[in-house]
Chain A
Amino acid sequence: AQTVTQSQPEMSVQEAETVTLSCTYDTSESDYYLFWYKQPPSRQMILVIRQEAYKQQNATENRFSVNFQKAAKSFSLKISDSQLGDAAMYFCAYRYSGAGSYQLTFGKGTKLSVIP
């Protein structure tokens, strides 16, 4: 079974600084998708960024970028120029690309605090 591990339960960053959230996963598959979701205090789950395993290039979305290391099964999220609105729970998620269901497997989450 696939598992997703987020080893940092909590992190903090100074406003305007850069922070990196870690995620590792375990799978025997070669083709899959990885995601980072943000959950602010409102509890809404918001997609931050996604990465296709077959793509070597790291995904970027404005101030958010990932460092995808397929061999190491690592998928970290870098937030640049941190803003107060970035304070939230961040969840790393995995989805298999094979036949059948496309459900997400989530890590336990990292709570990010942004210090003004």
Chain B
Amino acid sequence: DSGVTQTPKHLITATGQRVTLRCSPRSGDLSVYWYQQSLDQGLQFLIQYYNGEERAKGNILERFSAQQFPDLHSELNLSSLELGDSALYFCASNRGGLAETQYFGPGTRLLVL
């Protein structure tokens, strides 16, 4: 158990809908990273937050957005969902330092029908 929690574990929804994925980092961790794992794209970095502020963006679509709240949990919002958004979405956390290892949550499996 990494100490990172993600909810829900599974999500099934329809095209065009909007969903919110939630991540709680390990106790004491300030930085949260979101990754997408799909069959065709592999594991891709989406976005990073550090202590409530956006730190970096990767291959994140404009339909996707995220935020980190004062209690340091983070939410990833996916809107206007398409079939190709079906994937496993991981959250990872660390204290934010240069030498810090990222610890991954169990992921949320999203299926868009």
Contacts and interface: CB of A to CB of B under 8 A. Distances in A.
A and B held together in a complex:
yes
A39 to B, nearest CB: 9
Interface string B32-62: 0101000000111100100000011010000
Contact of A103 (B42, B45, B104): B45
Interface residues of A, number: 23
B102 interface: yes
Interface stretch (A12-20, A22-30, A41-49, A73-81): A41-49
Contacts of B107: 43-45
Contact of B98 (A37, A43, A102): A102
B101 A35 contact: yes
Given A97-B98, A103-B58, A47 B103 contact: yes
A45 B93 CA distance: 12
Interface in A29-61: 33, 35, 37, 42-47, 50, 52
B45 A105 contact: yes
14 contacts: A33-B99, A43-B106, A43-B109, A44-B2, A45-B92, A45-B104, A47-B101, A50-B101, A102-B31, A102-B96, A103-B45, A103-B56, A104-B33, A104-B35
Interface of A: 33, 35, 37, 42-47, 50, 52, 91, 97, 100-109
Given A47-B103, A103-B56, A109-B42, 17 more contacts: A37-B104, A44-B106, A45-B90, A45-B104, A50-B101, A91-B43, A101-B48, A101-B56, A102-B48, A103-B45, A103-B48, A103-B58, A104-B33, A104-B43, A104-B45, A106-B42, A106-B43
